[in-house]
Amino acid sequence: MLTVQLFQDYIWQSVSIDTSLPADVAKSNTELWGPLLEKCFAKIHGGYDKLEEVFMRDTSSKAYKQFDRIMMELSGGCMESYSSRIDFAALKKKVTSGSLICAVRVEEGDESETSGLISNAPYSIIDVVDENLPDGLRLVRIRNPYNSPYTGQFAAQDNVSWQKYPEVKKMLKVTPNDGTFWITYKNMLQNFNQYSVCRLFPQDYYQYHHEGLWERQRAWQITDPEFCGNPQYKLVIPNTGAKTQLFISLCQLDTKMTNISMLLFKTKPGQNYMWEFNDTDCIAQPTEPAEPQRETTMELILSPEDQGTTQFTLVLFQNTPKPDGKKPYCLRVFANNQMTLEEVAQPYVYKFPVEFNKQNTGGKRLKPMADSAKLVDSTSWAKNPQIFLSLKKPTMLKLICERIIGRKEQGLDIQIGATITRVFPASQPEKNLGPVKKGRTAGPSEYAKGNVDLTDKVMTRKLQILPADWQKETPYQDDSTSILVNVNPSMGPLVVVPTLSDELTGNAQIIVYSDKELHQAQRLPEVYHPVIPMAWTPENAGGCHIYCAPFEPPKTSTWPNNPKIFLSFKNEEGGPTPGRPANTVLKMARCERQWRNEIAKDPVGCMLGFYVLKLTYDQHKKIIISRNEVVAETTFCPTHEVTMEMGFEAGDYVIVLCTYEPHKVGEFMFYATSDCKFNMSDEAPELEEEEEQ
């Protein structure tokens, strides 16, 4: 039995075979190590018939690359590629350090010869000599396994060159027909245009080996907000004053190769994860190949004095606009000094597809005030989709908004952005906080302890952000935008409100990266949380019920002119039933900044309130707005939001929305949510025609 170790799939694997060989193979070979090695490869790859599939799948001009793979699997080394030329000093250093090197003349088309050298066939470089040679000679010794002898300068048959330098021939112990030939460095560059180096390292080098998967990353440029989703490794070098020589290798399984790459950034000591990237912190990256390679490498020297830090972050990524998911990789690092290399825990990712349509697109939170450049809150902002987040622990969040651009939307001036804020403002007291004993302060509220379940009580639509409340907003950009925020559970649940500019429609994706797992993350079901932006105008700002009969004559009555909301609860599946009314929350709100000046002039007249009436019609098919039809009403309040909770039986209702006094003009919004199905509109339902008798 014979056992051979092969570096297969990033690990050393033992392959045991017997020494029996086919008769024709045994007779035709004076040395059996080649056929036996071929048998080992056949066994580990699944049979002789698989070898051609594994090693010869490329065209003839790329077949030499399979020799690279064989060198790596035999030695466990790291592959480097050089196109056109390789520096003599670097070549000599690699040869003397024990690296395996082959040279190829890559040509398209059929096999050809130049000076006896075969195109697209690998030749091994086994020695480099320039010391003690006259006239600046630089010679390279190459193994020739082919039945085509080299015929150029310093070939075994080139008596002219060797007779000119007999002392060189003697020193190099040139022997004809030993399977090798000598060539000048200049002629080597003329005859070969591709060089593969299998790097082998001294035994006293430290080696670090990590395997992983590219799972969910879509970013391939550091300017992309999702670049932080790529695998990251924290590298810490010793602070001893000595320089650390590093060789970093990143490999991929070559079943389906893509361009892979890596970037090394300097970071502050103690920093665990990189969220944002810039070119000034990037200190190393490999040369980008012309086509996908199985392995990419880079070599560098690090020192605390030169880089100003002992900690670095290595980011691995697929250098293509469409990365493969679930793609395995192997990272190997070789260093002359002991250091630490550890994978940084990947962030948690929460994705929400968003479709902006006419019902849920509300535009930006702030808009210019009429006849002024001053920005005020927009009542339409509340229409936008809303995503709720519940925290467990203090957390770093990266909020990313991406537009999904279709063909029809290309070239349109559409920008995307988002706002993150608290669900419950700091100025809003918690109802169930309870009394506090004299001499004591209230402890943390229920929502400030973290792990808040996103129940119907919590997930109510965010209508506005008060001026003093905490909020962060992304820049508005064409394709994608992001923001990094540090949050903690004491802030309570958070809500993310993505928006498109100018109330436009389109598709988008909201992505939340988090360094800690969130307790819950859910999107608000918009169908159960409708909101309608409205406005009091000079024509419909009618004031409260005292501006109606019997307090006012019908001709001067203004209360019925107010804006109206129509609610409908059907006696059907999902609707209210006898004995089980629809528990419903109604809320009218206005934006504080829009109304600030008006309230300062007349705080009483600007108080808010609304009335709930049964929807009835008179003989002229007009809606009856009368105190006799009122089933519920709010108290008029000098606040910016008025809320009512009540149970609705099946039927149709009309809600009259008022300020306390008439002629108070401005925007507001109305919001409703219920535990039963309902319809809400600012347009009166069509009255069904009575059937003719």
Q: What is the pLDDT of residue 441?
A: 44
Q: In this predicted model, which residue has the larger pLDDT, 58 or 398?
A: 398
Domain assignment present for 691:
no
Tell me the C-alpha distance between 331 and 293, whole Å: 15
Q: What is the pLDDT of residue 9?
A: 80
* Rounded mean pLDDT, 121-147: 92
Q: What is the pLDDT of residue 539?
A: 95
Domain assignment present for 506:
yes
Q: What is the pLDDT of residue 688?
A: 67
Domain assignment present for 218:
yes
Whether residue 600 sits in one domain with residue 557? yes
Q: What is the pLDDT of residue 192?
A: 93
Rg (CA), the chain: 38
Say which DSSP state 580 is in: B
Nearest to 182 by CA among 96, 94, 119, 123: 123
Whether residue 159 sits in one domain with residue 129? yes
Whether residue 235 sits in one domain with residue 209? yes
Whether residue 138 sits in one domain with residue 150? yes
Q: What is the pLDDT of residue 27?
A: 66
Q: What is the pLDDT of residue 467?
A: 85
Tell me the C-alpha distance between 72 and 419, whole Å: 51
Domain region containing 99: 80-198
* Rounded mean pLDDT, 385-414: 86
437: pLDDT strictly greater than 60: no
* Rounded mean pLDDT, 507-511: 95
Tell me the C-alpha distance between 265 and 309, whole Å: 11
Tell me the C-alpha distance between 16 and 2, whole Å: 5
Domain assignment present for 688:
no
For residue range 27-72, what is the model confidence (pLDDT) as tens digits?
Answer: 666 678 888 888 898 888 888 887 776 665 444 445 566 778 888 8
Q: What is the pLDDT of residue 432?
A: 47
CATH number of the domain where residue 543 is located: 2.60.120.380
Length, in residues, of the chain:
693
DSSP, collapsed to helix, strand or coil, labels residue 416 as strand
Alpha-helix runs per DSSP H in 121-184: 159-164, 166-172
Whether residue 175 sits in one domain with residue 110? yes
Strand order of the sheet with strand 78-83?
78-83, 194-199, 100-104, 123-129, 139-143, 180-184
Whether residue 313 sits in one domain with residue 353? no
Tell me the one-letter amino acid at 331: L
Domain assignment present for 535:
yes
* Rounded mean pLDDT, 218-223: 79
Domain boundary pick from 286, 320, 346: 346
411: pLDDT strictly greater than 70: no
Output the six-digit token pair for 8.
């297969």
Q: What is the pLDDT of residue 433?
A: 45
Whether residue 661 sits in one domain with residue 603? yes
Beta-bridged to residue 353, according to DSSP, are: 509
Confidence of residue 477 (pLDDT cuts 50, 70, 90): very high
Nearest to 676 by CA among 558, 595, 576: 576
| Cα 155 to chain centroid, rounded | 57
H or E segment at 114?
Answer: strand 113-114
Whether residue 316 sits in one domain with residue 232? yes
Whether residue 268 sits in one domain with residue 406? no
3-state DSSP of 614-655: ECCECCCCCECCCHHHEEEECCCECCCEEEEEEEECCEEEEE
Domain assignment present for 606:
yes
201: pLDDT strictly greater than 70: yes
Q: What is the pLDDT of residue 498?
A: 97
Whether residue 353 sits in one domain with residue 310? no
Tell me which residue has tokens 């109802």.
431
Domain boundary pick from 476, 509, 524: 524
213: pLDDT strictly greater than 80: yes
Domain assignment present for 372:
yes
Confidence of residue 436 (pLDDT cuts 50, 70, 90): very low
Nearest to 416 by CA among 511, 523, 526, 508: 508
DSSP, collapsed to helix, strand or coil, labels residue 407 as helix
Tell me the one-letter amino acid at 690: E
Q: CA torsion, points 254, 256, 257, 260, in degrees to nearest 10?
A: -100
H or E segment at 73?
Answer: helix 64-75
Residues 182 and 135 sit within 8 Å (Cβ to Cβ): no
Q: What is the pLDDT of residue 288?
A: 84
DSSP, collapsed to helix, strand or coil, labels residue 554 as helix
Domain assignment present for 208:
yes
**Whether the predicted model's global pTM rises above the 0.75 cut:** yes
| Angle in degrees, CA 442, 448, 449, rounded to 5 | 100
Task: Please give the C-alpha separations between residue 85 and each of 59, 187, 198, 294, in angstroms, as whole numbers.
Answer: 23, 11, 16, 21
Q: What is the mean pLDDT of the chain?
A: 88
Share of the chain above pLDDT 70, in %: 91
For residue range 419-432, what is the model confidence (pLDDT) as tens digits?
Answer: 999 999 876 555 54
How many other CB atoms sit within 10 Å of the CB of residue 171? 12
Q: What is the pLDDT of residue 428?
A: 59
Nearest to 642 by CA among 618, 615, 673, 607: 607
CATH number of the domain where residue 134 is located: 3.90.70.10
92: pLDDT strictly greater than 50: yes
* Rounded mean pLDDT, 439-456: 74
132: pLDDT strictly greater than 60: yes
Domain boundary pick from 493, 524, 555: 524
Query: Total domain count for the chain?
Result: 4
Task: Please give the C-alpha separations between residue 35 and each of 18, 31, 69, 345, in angstroms, as whole numbers.
Answer: 12, 8, 18, 46
Beta-bridged to residue 83, according to DSSP, are: 194
Whether residue 463 sits in one domain with residue 386? yes
Burial of 65 per CB tally in 10 Å (0-12, 13-18, 19+):
buried
For residue range 340-360, what is the model confidence (pLDDT) as tens digits?
Answer: 999 999 999 999 999 999 999
Whether residue 92 sits in one domain with residue 220? no
For residue range 245-271, what is the model confidence (pLDDT) as tens digits?
Answer: 999 999 987 667 889 999 999 999 989
3-state DSSP of 195-206: EEEEECCCCCCE
Among 319-323, 413-417, 451-455, the range scoring the smallest mean pLDDT is 319-323
Nearest to 499 by CA among 512, 490, 491, 508: 508
